[in-house]
Amino acid sequence: MGRIFDNGATRARARAWGWWLAFGAAWMAAAWANLAAGPWLWIGLWGALALGSRLILVRRQPPKIPVLNYHSVSAHPEWLRIADRLSLAPAVFERQLAYLQRHGYRTLFISEARRVLSGEAPLPPGEKCVALTFDDGYADNWIAALPLLKKYGLKATVFVSTAFVADAAACRPTIEGLAAEQWSSLDWSGYLTWPELKAMQASGRIEIQSHGHEHTRVFAGPRVRGFAGPGRANLWLFWNRRPEARRSWWREIDAERSWWGHPLYEQAPALAQRAYRPDLAAVSHMLSWAQASQAFAAPDWERRLREEWVRYRREHGPRDAWESVADYERRVERDLTEARRTLAEKLGVQSDVLCWPENAFSEAGERIARRAGYVATVSNRHATTNAVGEAPDRIVRVFIGSPAAGVRSELLDFAAFVLELKVFEGWYLLYPPLALLHGARKFALGMKRHGVCRRDGWSIWR
């Protein structure tokens, strides 16, 4: 999971447990130093520990707004390639919605959550609120998520990357009115279309906000991690080289070979940092050499490419360069402005909240976002806790995915959901089992990454 849980909400719960352990250790030391004082000291000790637990590990004032980060809700997410990290089964999502409805939660659009956090829309005493958010704009948000939200009378915000949205003659069928055994007849692949976004918006259950325009990556340093080739498709590089294919990349990427041999440098989300620009002549040489030498016919093709790369660089010298600060800032502003302009043109939406792609951002990017018209940004890595009055312009979330503990289990997925929700609200007493689930998931993903080659660029959690 990398740093996906490294945010203000996580640090607050860890800090509370640090204070509690220090407090408990001090009381235990005092008790052991005064064993002869009799049972009343021990009764007082346990009373103090119980009171300390309540005061230190339950921190519900000021109230906090949990914001949950979803991506895909699909019965057939295989097309996505990274579905093992991002997609929930509809039954799992429905169980979570039923819990929210049963326990009296009011769902907020992200724009409403911002107003609550800023104090513009005060919460009635004792009211429980939560904001549900979806990233990227997958078609299953229309096919499954919206019908389930309607069923339970709840609502959510969808953050859309506008370069992936296509026109269409009509909206696709949804699971509404269909039995689960009929769902396989639906086309679950791809991204939302403009007619579907309009219908979602008109439903009153969905708010559309910006997830940037291109949602891609850039090279981020001089180290070459490998080369594009058989079984080493690099998703974002394909998007950058074939921008017209973004909306249907899963149908074309395996057949596209013109970019085999391209060196794959270390990479980072495009809006988060300056790009490392490879020497175009060196890249062009590698592409032509790979084709002319029929390198991919050999099982050791990557070794041969690396040897040729080293030879070429030794002969011609490195001519790579970093993107300038000014160019980086112009690129970020262009992307954020284009997303906002497109949403206004296509949907009549004046998007004022931006969710950073891959949750990655820079301070320069934050300043540019404000200049582009966004009043708040959303990321799983913001150093805030969503406490009312704290920082309404930087909203933090927690990731909700499956498998939550690294193994397929609807029970563990549901337990992780409830724990994430309650701990976010301030019930830090429940953090140890949640931390255990986080650790199990991280371990399982690490084992999978080491057991199966993941240098192909599909993984976004490196």
Which DSSP string corresponds to 36-80? GG-HHHHHHHHHHHHHHHHHHH---SS-B--EEEE-EE-S--GGG
CA 230 to chain centre: 28
- Looking at residue 31, its pLDDT comes to 63
pLDDT digits (tens, 9 = 90+) for 125-144: 889 999 999 999 999 999 99
Cis status, amide bond into 432, omega within 30 of 0: no
**CATH ID of 67-214+330-451, from 3.20.20.370, 3.40.30.10, 3.40.1440.10, 3.20.20.70:** 3.20.20.370
Question: For each of the chain's 462 residues, which pLDDT tens digit applies?
Answer: 344 446 777 777 777 777 667 766 776 676 666 655 556 555 655 565 566 666 677 777 889 999 999 999 999 999 998 776 789 999 999 999 999 999 999 999 999 999 999 999 988 888 999 999 999 999 999 999 999 999 999 999 999 999 999 999 999 999 999 999 999 999 999 999 999 999 999 999 999 999 999 999 999 999 999 999 998 878 899 999 999 999 999 999 988 888 899 999 999 999 999 999 999 999 999 999 999 999 999 999 999 999 999 999 999 988 999 999 999 999 999 999 999 999 999 999 999 999 999 999 999 999 999 999 999 999 999 999 999 989 899 999 999 988 888 888 899 999 999 999 999 999 888 888 998 998 888 888 777 766 544 444 444 333
Classified as helix, coil or strand, 447 is: helix
Beta bridge mates, 105: 128
| Distant-in-sequence, close-in-space partners of 215: CB < 8 Å, separation ≥ 6 | 136, 161, 163, 164, 357
- Looking at residue 459, its pLDDT comes to 40
- Looking at residue 234, its pLDDT comes to 87
- Looking at residue 55, its pLDDT comes to 66
Rounded CA-CA distance 218/268 in Å is: 6
Outline where 348-426 has alpha helix (H): 363-371, 410-425
CB 27 within 8 A of CB 45: yes
Q: Name the pTM for this structure.
A: 0.90
Residue 437 main-chain phi, psi, to 5 deg: -65, -45
Outline where 58-189 has alpha helix (H): 83-86, 90-102, 110-118, 140, 146-152
CB 125 within 8 A of CB 149: no
In order of 158, 315, 353, the CA distances from 135 in angstroms are 6, 45, 13
Dig out the tokens for 256 from the structure.
């596209």
Tell how strand 217-227 and strand 263-269 pair up: antiparallel
Cis status, amide bond into 147, omega within 30 of 0: no
